[in-house]
């Protein structure tokens, strides 16, 4: 693990696959037997943080090379200009939105003012901040929804404070994705929802979604290649895997894949 990687940081599927690869190499080299391999592999897919992953390969020679490296959204953001380049000051490009028996959208490249007000009566609106710039480090979005709804989409790393009041309606709080990132703006969402609702959710950009999809595809290809190499290495070493053990190993991987799919569906919805 790198010096700046906290053991409390959440591990990704890619991190777990890298550690699993070390275990596959170890069993192929005879450093682990199948029982140890299965126990450690199960621990890998149960791990949630770097601190839980690190001990699994600590006694293996390749552990240092395969120790997970945290993927920092802050670093990615800095490479593309960083939050500093998105807090531009000045006036917003839109100060509000109205939806009366209709709808409105604010999405793509636009500048969020210090105060954005919107009203939805038997209609709906979408305020997407994933690609937006911000007029200030703290912006306020005031929503009034009467028998209608407003959906606010924020990127990871942005601090969100929900202060709205629901009367036979409600304000949804976003899922907690960790502390706010350095330099990220603070978004305060207030107002009132009467027989309506204001939803808030975190999503990555479409470009990031596409990148993650391609990354998962590459991980699957790498996983298949690793399984093939493991079988080949075991054959070359003259070891034979018992059929029941092999079937159990495949079943374990199938279950882990299903669990990861369920987690992704949960994050997506």
Per residue in 196-254, pLDDT (tens digit) is 999 999 888 777 777 777 777 777 777 777 777 776 766 665 555 556 666 677 777 77
> Using CA of residue 32, residue 36, residue 41, residue 43, what is the dihedral sign?
negative
Work out the pLDDT band at 30, boundaries 50, 70, 90. confident
CA distances from 115 to 21, 107, 134, 262 (A): 50, 16, 10, 38
For 60-77, write each residue's pLDDT tens digit.
875 444 444 444 444 444
Alpha carbons 45 and 43: distance in angstroms, whole number: 6
Return the residue matching tokens 């997970």.
68
CB atoms within 10 A of CB 105: 13
Average pLDDT over residues 122-151: 93
CA distances from 155 to 129, 171, 184, 246 (A): 7, 18, 10, 43
Terminal CA-CA length for the chain: 32
CA distances from 18 to 30, 40, 219, 225 (A): 19, 13, 9, 13
Residue 71 DSSP symbol: -
The number of CA neighbours under 13 Å toward the Cβ of 253 is: 15
| pTM exceeding 0.75 | no
Domain boundaries, the chain: 1-71+239-269, 90-202
pLDDT of residue 226: 74
Alpha carbons 109 and 125: distance in angstroms, whole number: 17
Average pLDDT over residues 71-89: 60
| b/e per residue 116-142 (b: at least 16 CB within 10 A) | bebbbbebbbbbbbbebbbbbeebbbb
């Amino acid at each position: 693990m790198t010096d700046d990687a906290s053991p409390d940081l959440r591990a990704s599927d890619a991190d777990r696959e890298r550690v699993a690869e070390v275990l596959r190499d170890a069993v192929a080299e005879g450093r682990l037997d199948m029982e140890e391999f299965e126990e450690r592999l199960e621990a890998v897919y149960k791990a949630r943080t770097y601190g839980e992953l690190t001990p699994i390969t600590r006694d293996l020679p390749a552990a240092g090379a395969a120790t997970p490296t945290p993927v920092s959204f802050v670093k990615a953001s800095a490479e593309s200009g960083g939050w500093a380049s998105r807090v531009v000051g000045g006036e917003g490009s839109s100060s509000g939105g109205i939806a009366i028996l209709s709808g409105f959208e604010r999405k793509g490249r636009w500048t969020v003012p210090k105060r954005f007000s919107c009203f939805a009566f038997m209609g709906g609106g979408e305020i997407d901040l994933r690609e937006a710039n911000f007029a200030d480090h703290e912006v306020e979005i005031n929503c009034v929804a009467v028998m209608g709804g407003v959906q606010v989409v924020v990127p990871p790393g942005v601090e969100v404070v929900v202060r709205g009041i629901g009367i036979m309606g409600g304000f949804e709080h976003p899922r907690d994705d960790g502390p706010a990132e350095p330099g990220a703006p603070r978004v305060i969402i207030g107002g009132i929802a009467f027989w309506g609702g204001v939803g808030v959710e975190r999503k990555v950009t479409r470009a990031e979604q596409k990148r993650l999809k391609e990354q998962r595809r590459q991980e699957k290809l790498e996983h298949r290649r690793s399984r093939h190499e493991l079988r080949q290495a075991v054959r070359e070493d003259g070891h034979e895997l018992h059929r029941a053990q092999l079937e159990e190993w495949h079943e374990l991987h199938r279950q882990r894949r299903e669990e990861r799919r369920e987690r992704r569906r949960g994050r997506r919805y």
